[in-house]
């Protein structure tokens, strides 16, 4: 983010507080996304998926997911498909609730740092 010339300082602030995700709530309300699931991906990235990664397309994309609350959250999501695949294999309501709680914790922590 720091080196991306397309992102203004205000945009960086929005991203730091995860406020840039709020418009995706409209997609959730329209039934196009879930609160929890693999991140939506750009078509040109999907075109490069290996066959095992295509399983990520079998569930509705989400605003947050296992990768976002994992130790690898600072790495590129494209480098960590295993978190989405692990989520898909083990997804249930209790995992979704845990991911939502951890997401809220991470967002509130960003306010203090």
Q: Label residues 74-95 b or e (16+ Cβ within 10 Å = b).
A: eeebeeebebbbebbeebeeee
**Which tens digit of pLDDT belongs to each residue from 1-29?**
566 777 787 777 777 767 777 888 899 99
Position 94 pLDDT exceeds 60: yes
Q: Residue 106 belongs to what domain range?
A: 9-112
SS3 64: strand
Domain membership flag for residue 67: yes
Domain membership flag for residue 2: no
| pTM of this structure | 0.77
- For residue 48, the tally of other CB atoms under 10 A from its CB is 9
CA distance 59 to 20: 23
For the chain, how many structural domains are there in total? 1
């Amino acid at each position: 983010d720091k080196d991306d010339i397309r992102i203004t300082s205000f945009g960086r602030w929005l991203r730091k507080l995860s406020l840039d995700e709020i418009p995706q709530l409209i997609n959730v309300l329209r039934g196009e996304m879930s609160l929890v699931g693999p991140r939506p991906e750009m078509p040109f990235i999907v075109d490069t998926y290996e066959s095992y990664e295509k399983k990520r397309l079998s569930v509705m994309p989400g605003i947050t997911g296992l990768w976002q609350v994992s130790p690898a959250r600072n790495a590129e999501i494209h480098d960590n498909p295993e978190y989405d695949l692990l989520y898909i294999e083990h997804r249930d309501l209790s995992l979704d609730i845990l991911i939502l709680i951890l997401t809220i914790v991470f967002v509130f922590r960003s306010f203090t740092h």
